[in-house]
Every structure is written in structure tokens, then in C-alpha cells.
Amino acid sequence: MARTPTFAVIADLHGNLPATEAVLADLAHIQPDRVIVGGDLVNRGPQSRAVVERIAPLGWEAISGNHDTWFVSLWRGAGLPDDWETPWWTPARLAVADLTPENVAWLESLPFSQRVELPGAEPALVVHGSPRDNREGMGRMRSDEQIREALADVEEKMVIGAHIHYPYEREVDGTRVVVIGAVGCPFNRDINAQYGLFTWDGAQWTCEHRSVPYDHEPVYAAWRDNGYFDDGSLVSALMLLEYQTARTHYVPFWEWAMTRGLPLTFESYPAFARERGEPELIETIREMLAGGASRSAERAIL
Ligand SMILES: [Fe+2]
Ligand SMILES: [Fe+2]
């Protein structure tokens, strides 16, 4: 009897090597027919180069996420923000500087999308964001009309995306859209490493949203060991907090401060945290900036 077709899509690894290793171990056990890497290997976490150098030699099909595309530009000195040398950009600046020419050449070689064809099953299309833009998610924030426009040139009946960092499924005009969760930086209040495992059931692809536990302490320690706190970067603290809580903190603070014309520094943070109803996080962030990051543990603030 023919083997049931299976494939996995892993994405949003975001510089988190322990999460990546946990997913690779899970995949080694499951042995799907194919594994597609859905982009965003770099940025946010403190181990971007290590993740690229772990994944690239596997020879799996991979596509470019918006962070991968962006890092290639930054590495070449194109499109650098005016305040690139300030602590606001410390995580990105350190990660970009750490990439080798070989890393960048590999990232630059990645295509925008990947079609998955397995014998006996319908083809599926893997993208990072949407089929028209790797910065456009297909999650609950998008209307059916927006998804319809994004799918306009797609012939596959199954489209798989990532980018939004939480699992989400929908159907628009007969096309199934499955968004998988993040390996390295989930935003669905589940701190495990997440990915999608697809199985052909004879009529359609079904997705199991896998959630793999792992020891987070080594990646938390890497924040300090890799110098991400050396200049007191608030962004480093906010991103570490995202990994500890599986919730978004960085973009909401940035948007809040920008609309008020406030500095992107810790002095602006307490008012934001109080307004967001999370005053306890003020001390958490203060501790991180004062040197507490390496002794961090998962926090009961979910
Ligand atoms: Fe991402
Ligand atoms: Fe992304």
C-alpha cells in the first residue's frame, strides 16, 4: 500500500536555535516526505546566524520571509534606518553584523514561494505572508475580500502561510488557507516551538498544528551572552519578553510611542505598560536591563 503523503512547513524560526533543534528532533521522529522552510529564519532572537547555519546545510526547500529579505538589504548597507546606531536597533544591528557572506548568499537565493507536489495528492502552495507580499499576513486581521485579492493569481486550492506567528485557518471561495504557528517566536500564548504537519487524507490536506516543548534557558542566556543587552537596548528586553510570554510587546510599544512622539527608550515604557494594563512588566523590563536576563525563567504573566 502506498505511503500516505505528508509534508511539514516550519517558519518564523527567528534566531532561536533551541526551538529550531526541538522541531528538527520532532521531524526526525515523524519523517515527513518533505520539509519546507517558510521563511523568517533571522532577527528578533539572538541566534540568527546559528539558525541559518543549522538549516542551510539540510538542503530543504526554503523561501524568503520579510525579515530574511530585509536582512540581506541591511547587510549590503541598503535602507539603513537613520537611527541605526542607536540601542533601538541593537538586536537587528548585531544579528546583521554577525552574518557571513555565505549566509547572505544563501538567504538571497531563497525564492518567494514554493509549490509542493506529492504523488497522489493535490498540489499546495507555500508562501511566507500572502501570495502577493511576504509582509502581508493572512490571519484574522484580514477580511475575506483582502484574502480574495491576495489569492487572485493562485491556482492551487491549498495555500499555506506563516508570518503572523499564530495558527489560523480559513477558506475563501473554495481555497483553503492554513497559517502555521511560529517555531521561534510564537504570539499565541504557547511558548512551545510550533509548526504545521500536513497529511493527505485521500480527499484533502489536513494540518496538525504541532507544539513542541523545549528548554528555553539557553536562548534566554544567549541574549546576554551575545551582547544584546550591552547598551541597555529596550528592544532586546521587549523581544526577550515576547519569547517568554508568547505575546507581542515590541510592535505595540513602538506604535504607541511613535503616535505620541515619545522616545523609544525605557523612560517611555512605564506609561505604556500601565495603559496596557500590565504594570507588573515595568519591573520585569527594568530587571532585564539591569542584568537579570540570564537568570530568567518562564514568567507567569500569560
Ligand atoms: Fe516572523
Ligand atoms: Fe514575517
pLDDT, tens digit, for every residue of 138-181?
Answer: 999 999 999 999 999 999 999 999 999 999 999 999 999 999 99
Tell me the backbone φ, ψ of residue 17, rounded to 5 degrees.
Answer: -70, -45
State the distance from the centre of ligand 1 to the C-alpha of 14, rounded, in angstroms. Answer: 7
Alpha-carbon distances of 168 from 161, 164, 181, 188, rounded to whole Å: 9, 9, 8, 10
8 Å CB contact between 54 and 48: no
- What pTM was computed for the model? 0.94
State the distance from the centre of ligand 1 to the C-alpha of 41, rounded, in angstroms. Answer: 8
State the distance from the centre of ligand 1 to the C-alpha of 67, rounded, in angstroms. Answer: 7
pLDDT of residue 1: 57
State the distance from the centre of ligand 1 to the C-alpha of 197, rounded, in angstroms. Answer: 18
8 Å CB contact between 241 and 285: yes
pLDDT beyond 90 at 299: no
- Tell me the pLDDT tens digit for each residue of 221-276: 999 999 999 999 999 999 999 999 999 999 999 999 999 999 999 999 999 999 99
What's the N-to-C CA distance of the chain in angstroms? 46
8 Å CB contact between 294 and 224: yes
State the distance from the centre of ligand 2 to the C-alpha of 146, rounded, in angstroms. Answer: 18
In whole numbers, what is the pLDDT of the chain averaged over residues? 95
**What ligand is nearest to the CA atom of residue 187?**
1
Neighbours of ion ligand 1 (CB under 5 A): 12, 40
pLDDT beyond 80 at 132: yes
State the distance from the centre of ligand 1 to the C-alpha of 13, rounded, in angstroms. Answer: 8
State the distance from the centre of ligand 1 to the C-alpha of 93, rounded, in angstroms. Answer: 17
State the distance from the centre of ligand 2 to the C-alpha of 25, rounded, in angstroms. Answer: 24
Q: Domains in the chain, ordered, with CATH?
A: 6-212 (3.60.21.10), 218-295 (no CATH)
- Tell me the pLDDT tens digit for each residue of 73-93: 999 999 999 999 999 999 999
Half-sphere exposure of 288 (CA within 13 A, CB side): 28
